Amino acid sequence: MQIHVVQSGDSLFSIANLYDTSVPVISEANELTTPNLVVGQALVIPIVGQYYFVQPGDSLFSIAQQFTMSFEVLARVNQVSITAPLPIGLRLYIPPLPKQSITSFGYIEPIGETVSEALENTANMHTPLLTFLAPFSYRVNRDGTLDPPPLNQFLEIAEQNNAFASLVVTNLEGPTFNSELAHIILTVQAVQNTLIDEIINIATTQGFSDVHFDFEFIPSEDREAYNDFLRKIQPRLAQEGLLLSTALAPKLSSTQSGLLYEAHDYAAHGEIVDFSIIMTYEWGYSAGPPLPVSPINEVERVLQYTLTEMPASEIIMGQNLYGYDWTLPFVQGESFARAISPQQAIQIAWDHQVAISYDETAQAPFFEYIDADDREHIVWFEDARSIQAKFNLIKQLGILGIAYWKLGLAFPQNWLLLEDNFIITKKES
Q: Any idea which residues carry the catalytic annotation?
A: 216
Beta bridge partners of 422: 100
The phi, psi pair for 213, rounded to 5°, reads -95, 120
Q: DSSP of 5-55, one letter per residue?
A: E--TT--HHHHHHHTT--HHHHHHHTT-SSS---TT-EEEE--SSEEEE--
Q: Is 342 exposed, middle or buried (0-12, 13-18, 19+ CB in 10 A)?
A: buried
Residues 6+ apart with CB under 8 A from 77: 93, 95
Q: How many residues does the chain have?
A: 429
Task: Specify the long-range contacts of residues 228-235, CB closer than 8 Å, at least 24 apart.
Answer: 228/186, 229/185, 229/186, 229/192, 230/268, 230/269, 230/272, 230/273, 231/272, 232/192, 232/196, 233/196, 233/199, 234/272, 234/273
- The crossing angle, in degrees rounded to 10, of helices 412-421 and 384-397 is 30
Which of 356, 298, 390 minimizes the C-alpha distance to 7?
A: 356
Q: Is the dihedral of CA 19, 53, 389, 322 positive or negative?
A: negative
CA-CA distance, 167 to 258, in Å (whole number)?
A: 27
> Rounded CA gap, 239 and 235, in Å?
6
* Residue from 169, 172, 194, 192 nearest 181 by CA: 172
